[in-house]
Amino acid sequence: MMPPTTLARRAAPVLACIGLLALWQVAALALKNDSFPTAIEAIRAIPSILGDKEALINIIASLRRMAIGFGVAVFVSIPLGLMMGRSRAVAAFFNPLLMVIYPVPKAALMPIIMLWLGVGDITKTLVIFLGVSLPVIYHSFEGAKAVEEKMLWSGAAMGLSAAQRMVWIVLPASLPEILTGCRTGLVLALITMITSEMIARQSGAGNILFNALDMGQYDTVFAMIIIVGAMGIGLDALFERVRAKLVRWSEPQFDIPLSFS
Amino acid sequence: MAEPVATRKPASSIIEIEHVSQIFQTSARKDHQALSDISLTIEEGAFVSILGPSGCGKSTLLYIVGGFVSPTGGAAKMKGKTIAGPGPDRGPVFQEFALFPWKTVLGNVTYGPRQQGMSASEADAQSRALIEMVGLKGYESFYPKELSGGMKQRVALARTLAYHPEVLLMDEPFGALDAHTRTRLQNDLLNIWERDRKTVLFVTHSVDEAVFLSDKVVMMSKSPGRIRQVIDIDLPRPRRRNELLLDPRYQKYVVDIERMFDESDEVGSRS
């Protein structure tokens, strides 16, 4: 038997979703607008999208680009951020470059990238890569900067070289912060994935969405929004499980330290 | 009562600090002389405390011996060789514990020996024995965040002892602990130290602590940090707190040292 507080915590997100859908339903019925289908109509359209082979191929292609863009970004950004956090010279070199890229909406770069690389996978993956990189670099940087000097000294006394300290001390010590950046990056990957497909209309989940919009199939549009939203929730939940496992040692789950000198 | 100086071995020096000075640049781009012309010889197997007010550079001196900081003048030598960087022959224990939070107690203690190339099973067995010695048997699989400050410092001590440094460098190790915990750790440190008499360089601002633990107390003054005086503590070992506190010789050391600090206008800068 679950204690009531656990039950409430588990039920809360479900209730929130049902509440939102109910609100949608009422609003759509009240407005009676063709371009605003009811929640039930939108949900009814979901099975036909997911049952369509073409649509599934598109969605899987989107997810594949997103996974590659995200993976490469994380792979490149973590070492870069960590080095920036531990070396003033590296930080001074990369900081202005990143500050220039940071405020530019990554989708705004797409037309240019499309001219160079075409409308295919590479362009879209590159945009996702750019979107994910910055938060991961930033959080890795902050994490590495905060690593206690004395912890590194302790490692040095044990015989760890500078490179070994980077991999075996700075990296694990910064991991909670790095994963916070990756979580933000994951959401941004989803956003840039859809926007990139909105601009380079060729395939993908975003393409289905905007094609349906062009053709006035509003129930499909809203069904796709629900699908993308669900993908976001699902990916985030999955990531959160992995993250919680990796940084169990830093979570304040034992609030009261054991009293014993 | 006891035979004085009976336990002292014929001494050979292990650490030589020769005319060390340290100048830091402050944020205002002004030079601040933290240490001025420090010369000190530390004998093998001795428990030496560096005692002084905060800001006298005593920790800096310890970091120089550790090889974590290079002196701007002079040199520190370990067994005749100039210290150029950190090494496993000199094991630090910091006030901040500096444990690896992603490692369990056992993982922290085995880290050094594993790094030194000891086999996993050997490091494991040795570390478990050390964890028991510092009084933490049963806590092997705990993470640092689950431990109290005193327990963390016990782990830090075990972690450093695990790779068998020849010299222990202790930087106000009990400074962050409450009085009761500090007393217990002082007693336990002495018990552990009396087994193998490793050379210890111990930085503290507590006169009682320095006298209770040490063979030799190096008194420092500040701005710039200099050695005021080196005092030999001729008190019998093994030392027991309840006996020592009643011993007039102990009391005299404490009072004399406190008076010397007071004379030099540094009242209140010691906490």
pLDDT at A168 over 50: yes
For residues A173 and A162, what is the distance between their CA atoms, to the nearest angstrom? 15
Per-residue pLDDT band for B267 (boundaries 50, 70, 90) equals very low
Measured between CA atoms, how close is B172 to chain A, in angstroms? 13
Q: Which domains does chain A have, with CATH numbers?
A: 40-247 (1.10.3720.10)
Per-residue pLDDT band for B11 (boundaries 50, 70, 90) equals low
What was the pLDDT predicted at B92? 98
Q: Can you read off the two tokens belonging to residue A125?
A: 């993956």
Preferred mutation among A149, A158, A254 to probe B, highest tally of B CBs within 10 A: A158
Confirm or reject contact between A153 and chain B (CB < 8 A). yes
- Shortest CA distance from A256: residue in chain B: B146
Asked if B185 and A151 come within 8 Å (Cβ–Cβ), the reply is no
pLDDT in tens, A84-142: 999 999 999 999 999 888 888 887 888 888 889 888 889 999 999 999 999 999 999 99
pLDDT at B8 over 60: no
Confirm or reject contact between A261 and chain B (CB < 8 A). yes
Measured between CA atoms, how close is B64 to chain A, in angstroms? 12
Q: ipTM score here?
A: 0.91
Average pLDDT, chain B: 91
Q: State mean pLDDT over A229-238.
A: 92
Q: State mean pLDDT over A149-161.
A: 96
pLDDT in tens, B58-116: 999 999 999 999 999 999 999 999 999 999 999 999 999 999 999 999 999 999 999 99
Residues of B with CB under 8 A from a CB of A: 66-68, 85-88, 90-92, 94, 96, 98-103, 111-112, 115-116, 142-148, 150-151, 159-160, 163, 165, 177, 180-181, 184-185
Buried-exposed string B197-229: b where 16+ CB fall within 10 A, e elsewhere: ebbbbbbbbbbbbbbbbbbbbbbbbbebbbbbe
Confirm or reject contact between A5 and chain B (CB < 8 A). no
Measured between CA atoms, how close is A176 to chain B, in angstroms? 10
Buried-exposed string A195-217: b where 16+ CB fall within 10 A, e elsewhere: bbbbbbeebbbbbbbbebeeeeb
What was the pLDDT predicted at B234? 94
For residues A216 and A226, what is the distance between their CA atoms, to the nearest angstrom? 17
For chain B, what percent of residues have pLDDT higher than 70?
Answer: 93
SS3 B78: strand
Q: State mean pLDDT over B111-124.
A: 95
What was the pLDDT predicted at A1? 60
Q: State mean pLDDT over B226-252.
A: 93
Asked if A261 and B94 come within 8 Å (Cβ–Cβ), the reply is no
What was the pLDDT predicted at A110? 86
Confirm or reject contact between A157 and chain B (CB < 8 A). yes
Q: State mean pLDDT over A161-181.
A: 96
What was the pLDDT predicted at A253? 57
Preferred mutation among B115, B152, B170, B187 to probe A, highest tally of A CBs within 10 A: B115
In 3D space, the residue among B147, B149, B169, B218 whose CA is nearest the CA of residue B69 turns out to be B169
Asked if A157 and B87 come within 8 Å (Cβ–Cβ), the reply is yes
Residues composing chain A: 261
pTM of the model: 0.87
